[in-house]
Amino acid sequence: MFDLIVRNANLPDGRQGFDIGLAGGRITAIEKRIHAVAGEEIDATGRLVSPPFCDPHFHMDATLSLGMPRMNMSGTLLEGIALWGELRPLLTKEALVDRALRYCDLAVSQGLLFIRSHVDTSDPRLVTAEALIEVRERVAPYITLQLVAFPQDGYYRAAEGAKSLERALDMGIDIVGGIPHFERTMDEGRLSLEALCRIAAERGLPVDIHCDETDDPMSRHIETLAAETIRYGLQGRVAGSHLTSMHSMDNYYVSKLIPLMAEAQINVIPNPLINIMLQGRHDTYPKRRGLTRVRELMAAGLNVSFGQDCTMDPWYSMGSADMLEVGHMAIHVAQMSGIEDKKQVFDALTINSAKTMGLDGYGLEVGCKADLVILQAADVIEALRLKPTRLCVVKGGKVISRSAPRIGELFLAGRPNRIDSGLDYVPKTSS
């Protein structure tokens, strides 16, 4: 007996037309044909069924605050930080919770059920931490929300940066964050990484650092982060987010750096949407793209997972909680146009992110948790191209979101007049 059977599903690994049986909060069968009854059955009709999407890098305290108190006119990271500094004293717990819960509703409808959010700890009031801890509890039945103590104004640069970060960890924030490229000097950035890795080692916590989010080829904090990771035995528990300076670094230096990062088992989190928007703003032409070296890092065996970073906030005025939008941009900016490239990008939105976040029981295999998404696409390649409707989102074996399929009608004489999503006339395996 199953609680739910999803029939005729295509799986991300290419298996087609399989039935998936869910019982007791787990996936208990994946077979060509399950001969059993279930509390509920859904016919996926040859659509892609995926594990839920994961976003390993987000800012839920800032989301949906676009225009408060004004817009970012230069479009730069630095004006975004200044603008957030203007908004910060005006933040209330109630408003933070309200915006975060609204974002989480949108995330569920997009099949995004695992989110790691940085939480600004610069304001000693720590109203952001208080609010996001409450949100973490309230959304726990449907979203796994991890929180990173993030000293937005600098661990050393802000007056009480170091103290506030530790207080936030004491409150129950899960992960140690940092921003070495925003400290006053390169040396203070290096020292901040030493301190943050030590704190993580002492508390037994993971580390996730906004690292080298600049176009400066000499911003080399990732080297220190990798070295400190090894020194404190934190291999596999440390993430380097953004790493955009790697785009501009000298190639010889990078040939030494990437093996060091691999030795430290750094989890790499590029954020293609925000960084194609923010980086290169000081360039005339040619303008640098500012995405880290995705293809090279993947080829070296590093775990690469893509983050969304922002949605409608001082840094990024776009966004829709859609991780396929993130993957779509990654394909373009990292020039990952091949079929195998695209499969790697899909993995970077799902299983790689789950590894970065240390998720237990994640995946679409027997024994994994009964969480999945049915998409209006035949396979992962089509999903990345179309960013299709998430027809059904299942959490713990129960449907928590349904969306109507996109169906259009044409009125052209002598030709088929019904089109499913209006786009599926191209071969499924096109690249």
Residues of this chain that bind Fe ion (CB under 5 A) = 309
Q: Does residue 200 contact residue 234 with C-beta atoms inside 8 Å?
A: yes
- Cβ proximity to Fe ion, 165 vs 377, nearer residue: 165
- Cβ proximity to Fe ion, 136 vs 369, nearer residue: 136
The minimum distance between CB 118 and Fe ion, in angstroms, equals 6
Q: Does residue 165 contact residue 118 with C-beta atoms inside 8 Å?
A: no
Which is it for strands 398-402 and 390-395: parallel, antiparallel or unpaired?
A: antiparallel
The minimum distance between CB 379 and Fe ion, in angstroms, equals 31
- Cβ proximity to Fe ion, 51 vs 56, nearer residue: 56
Report how far residue 42's alpha carbon sits from residue 5's, in angstroms, rounded to the nearest whole number: 6
CB-nearest residue to Fe ion: 309
Query: Is residue 94 annotated as part of the catalytic site, yes or no?
Result: no
Q: Which is the catalytic residue, given 40, 134, 213, 296?
A: 213
The minimum distance between CB 179 and Fe ion, in angstroms, equals 9
Report how far residue 313's alpha carbon sits from residue 297's, in angstroms, rounded to the nearest whole number: 29
Report how far residue 71's alpha carbon sits from residue 316's, in angstroms, rounded to the nearest whole number: 10
Report how far residue 74's alpha carbon sits from residue 167's, in angstroms, rounded to the nearest whole number: 34
- Cβ proximity to Fe ion, 3 vs 309, nearer residue: 309
- Cβ proximity to Fe ion, 154 vs 397, nearer residue: 154
DSSP string, 216-285: -TT--HHHHHHHHHHHTT-TTSEEEEE-THHHHS-HHHHHHHHHHHHHTTPEEE--HHHHHHHTTTT--S
Report how far residue 54's alpha carbon sits from residue 110's, in angstroms, rounded to the nearest whole number: 11
- Cβ proximity to Fe ion, 21 vs 319, nearer residue: 319
Residues 6+ apart with CB under 8 A from 230: 263, 264
The minimum distance between CB 246 and Fe ion, in angstroms, equals 16
**H helical segments located in 110-213:** 127-139, 161-171, 186-203
Cα separation values, 399 from 228, 322, 396, Å: 44, 19, 8
- Helices and strands: H and E segment counts in the chain: 14, 16
Q: Does residue 258 contact residue 226 with C-beta atoms inside 8 Å?
A: no
Report how far residue 414's alpha carbon sits from residue 372's, in angstroms, rounded to the nearest whole number: 40
The minimum distance between CB 268 and Fe ion, in angstroms, equals 14
Nearest alpha carbon to residue 191 among 2, 199, 299, 392: 199
Q: Which residues are catalytic?
A: 213
